[in-house]
Amino acid sequence: MLGAVAAAWSGAVWEVAYLGSIGDPDRGYLLEAAGVAATTAAILLVSLLALRVLRAPAWLYLAPLAAAGHLVHVTVRTRAEAFGVPRRRFSSGTMDSGVFDAFMPHVWPLLVVAIAAAAVLVHGVVPGPRRRADRFGAARSGGARRAVLGAAVVLAAANGAVTWWGLLYFIWYRGDPADYQAALTAVLTTTAVLVGGGVAARSLGGGRTTDVLVVMGVLGQLVLAAVSLDGATAPADPDASGDFELLFSVQTPLLVPGSYPLLLVIVVAVVRAVLRGRSHPTPRRPQDP
């Protein structure tokens, strides 16, 4: 784990230094470098959840915390520096460009740790001490239900990332603020779906598994939202013809099939709650004679 943290941190520091050294100081490259640092810091923070799931000793939390704190400092410093220099000709870099640059091979070991923790949660390989008897003594249907609920959460989170990517897919040379605003609205909609789906899944027996997966999914959506802010608030390009449409932006992640399982979970939980309320009405107090 220490090697994975060291590789992710050192790789991000190298990428930031490299992007900051290309030619004359340029706003686009510096914003891209800030995006790399911010994304890597988010991955390191997610790794803390993985350590919790894998029951790592307390001292092992210090390395990712220190590395994430340093990269947050680098993000703030580099972003402030970016707005102090001009944007050069043909420069199109933004913080969201750094998101994809951050997922280079140096973070792959850390991603493997996070994926392993998610697999442990979904399959119930490492149950908590209080729930050990319940985990191994429960019926198979309970384990299958938790796996389905966890898979629905993971699909919804991935659906948000795919939708965000699709809305910005053609933004390579000069970003249209309307597209960034649409992408930002889409990930915020996905965040709301994840929160609602997490509550619904817990009412259906998801437990700790879905709770952690929902938290990881929400953190991922918030990272995408954060790196979209620069493009969404940039001055409009006079040559751009696109207009921001709120309804379209909200509908897009809901209409992509990856969100369907979690939306179905929400519907099932609501219907179940309504039926229970009708079958167990509140008893009336007897009136005094």
What is the per-residue pLDDT across 221-251, written as a single tens digit (0 to 9) for each?
888 888 888 777 777 666 555 677 788 888 8
Mean of pLDDT over the chain: 76
For residue 188, give the nearest of 155, 157, 222 by alpha carbon. 222
Residues 122 and 24 in one domain: yes
pLDDT tens digits, residue range 158-210?
A: 888 888 887 776 544 445 777 788 888 989 999 999 999 888 888 887 777 77
- The answer on pLDDT for 64 being more than 70 is yes
Q: Which of 11-15, 228-232, 239-243, 254-258 has the least mean pLDDT?
A: 239-243
- The answer on pLDDT for 120 being more than 50 is yes
For residue 114, give the nearest of 199, 21, 220, 273 by alpha carbon. 220
Do residues 120 and 53 touch, judged by C-beta distance below 8 A?
yes
Q: Cα–Cα distance between 66 and 39 in angstroms, integer?
A: 15
Residues 42 and 107 in one domain: yes
Could you tell me the pLDDT band of residue 132, with boundaries at 50, 70 and 90?
very low
pTM recorded for the entire structure: 0.53
Number of domains in the chain: 2
Bigger pLDDT: 110 or 278? 110
Residues 163 and 141 in one domain: yes
pLDDT at position 193 is 92
- The answer on pLDDT for 157 being more than 80 is yes
pLDDT at position 274 is 77
pLDDT at position 265 is 85
Residues spanned by the domain of 263: 137-289
Do residues 17 and 194 touch, judged by C-beta distance below 8 A?
no
pLDDT at position 172 is 44
Query: Does 120 fall in a domain?
Result: yes
Query: Does 285 fall in a domain?
Result: yes
Q: Domain boundary at 78, 96, 126, which?
A: 126
Q: Cα–Cα distance between 269 and 289 in angstroms, integer?
A: 41
